[in-house]
Amino acid sequence: MKPRRNVLLVNPWIHDFAAYDFWVKPLGLLYLAGILRKNDYSVRLIDCLDSRHPALNSYPEARPPKRKPFGQGKFARQVIPSPNPLRDIPRSYHRYGIPPTLFQKELQRGEKPDAVLVTSTMTYWYPGVVDAIRLISQSFPGTPVILGGNYVNFCPSHAAMYSGADFIVPGAGERGIPDLFKSLFGDDFEFQPDPDDLDSYPYPAFDILPGVNQVSVITSRGCPFRCTYCASHRLNPVFRRRNPEGVAEEIAFWNRTIGVRDFSFYDDAFLFNPEEMAVPLMREIQRMGLDCRFHCPNGLHLRSLTEDIAFLLRKTGFTTLRFGFETSNPDSQAATGGKTTNQDLSLAVRSLRHAGFSPKDIGVYILCGLPGQTADEVRETILFVKSCGARPIIAEYSPIPGTALWQEAVAASPYPLTEEPLFHNNTLLPCRSDRLTWEDYRALKKLARENTFENE
């Protein structure tokens, strides 16, 4: 059948002080590609973050970077001038990904698209989005460029004003794109997934991602918790899950068809109510005899981690574990949403250690730079995590519009957070108080890195 239209999908650059490929993939865009393909559109994807692009060798300014095993590693990068609002920050600023000239070459390959879909991930990465859109519009004048993703979801007016896109589509693209394509081209989508039923979605189109080395999987949308600093609930107000057998089938599919062995879970609460998802999924993976490694770069929920689950995780091939703990201060735990307690952490770590995980395998995220937070609170949390026998990892707070903490964040910050998304950048610690100085911060990072585990 002749494809109805050509759609080009673009995952733009990251512009930031620092970025690391911790199993980073444009999952939302790949889901949209899967849906378009089911409706007979021909899809092609350009991944500006492709650090394994074969042509990178010919660009001395952006050599292929060192990669680590299992699908993580550095991005190719080039130093670029900081954008004006950040010009006084004494750190070098980078474009992560392929050089723009290589992107332009990629744009010229293949047939001219009828529409271009561009995604965005962090709000404060928008300069990379703007650059990509400018080059796309130069290459294909008159072709509609459509922007979605988190920059649009959280900062729609800013995106409408500055992105250069012809259309911005907030929210789930599977809802917005069919209407837009109807008005632009008169197209009807014969296949549309039901957003209330995640099992009605086709797989994300990982097979069109150049040089795919790992596959990101999401077993749910949304989160049962309402943590004040997090936007998950705003993006997906209802917590919904897939059928665990369907998830196992997807993993088996990518393993058998494109030979991928590394999988990362993007869920916000993968371990919540484990009998509903984690346990049946792991049993099914074992029954299928899949020899894969699983990575959880996004924080896992601690409370449900029993000894049985710890053993199951180990046996199934879970290799990278990260947990969302945030703080050991009980008042702060209660004030930010009450998802976990100190006892949850110590019991969970004990179970994981019994199951054979070492302290360095058990990464525990600690939020740093919340409005009003003191250095003492962070220090005590680091020491508590270590005393449990796990590895503390500092996660600098990024304020997000529409979260419960947003107004407090705006009031606490010296930066105009509502006007300029660049100031949401977690590297700036944009909401830190005087009770957490830069000197404190450096000492806290050092303390977190020192690997002296009391229980080892």
| Residues found near ligand B12 in the complex (CB under 6 A) | 19-20, 22, 24-25, 27-29, 31, 117-119, 121-124, 146-150, 153-154, 169, 172-174, 176-177, 218, 230-232, 235, 266, 268, 297-298, 395-396, 398, 400, 424, 426
Q: Please list, in sequence order, all residues whose beta carbon lies within 8 angstroms of the beta carbon of residue 348, skipping any fewer than 6 positions away.
A: 302, 303, 305, 310, 323
Cα 18 from chain centre: 15
CB 354 to ligand B12: min, Å: 27
Q: Residue 78: what are its φ and ψ, rounded to 5°?
A: -135, 140
355/401 with CB nearer ligand B12: 401
CB 53 within 8 A of CB 211: yes
230/260 with CB nearer ligand B12: 230
* CA–CA dist 325, 315 (Å, integer): 24
103/351 with CB nearer ligand B12: 103
CB 383 to ligand B12: min, Å: 21
CB 108 to ligand B12: min, Å: 21
45, amino acid identity = L
147/348 with CB nearer ligand B12: 147
270/346 with CB nearer ligand B12: 270
CB 320 to ligand B12: min, Å: 10
Q: Count Cα neighbours of 122 within 13 Å in the Cβ-side half-sphere.
A: 21
CB 123 to ligand B12: min, Å: 4
From residue 433, alpha-carbon distances to 328, 357, 375, 376, 411 in Å are: 19, 36, 9, 12, 11
CB 245 to ligand B12: min, Å: 20
Q: Residue 126: what are its φ and ψ, rounded to 5°?
A: -60, -25
3-state secondary structure of 323: strand
- Concatenated DSSP letters of 377-410: HHHHHHHHHHHHT-EEEEEE----TTSTTHHHHH
236/433 with CB nearer ligand B12: 236
Helix 244-257 and helix 278-288: axis angle, to 10°?
40
264/328 with CB nearer ligand B12: 264
CB 364 to ligand B12: min, Å: 13
50/351 with CB nearer ligand B12: 50
List the structure tokens of 117: 């879909």
CB 398 to ligand B12: min, Å: 4
CB 228 to ligand B12: min, Å: 11
53/242 with CB nearer ligand B12: 242
Q: Residue 368: what are its φ and ψ, rounded to 5°?
A: -135, 130
Q: Please list, in sequence order, all residues whose beta carbon lies within 8 angstroms of the beta carbon of residue 147, skipping any fewer than 6 positions away.
A: 118, 119, 120, 129, 133, 159, 163, 165, 167, 168, 169
174/344 with CB nearer ligand B12: 174
CB 76 to ligand B12: min, Å: 15
CB 263 within 8 A of CB 320: no
* CA–CA dist 218, 251 (Å, integer): 11
* CA–CA dist 160, 393 (Å, integer): 36
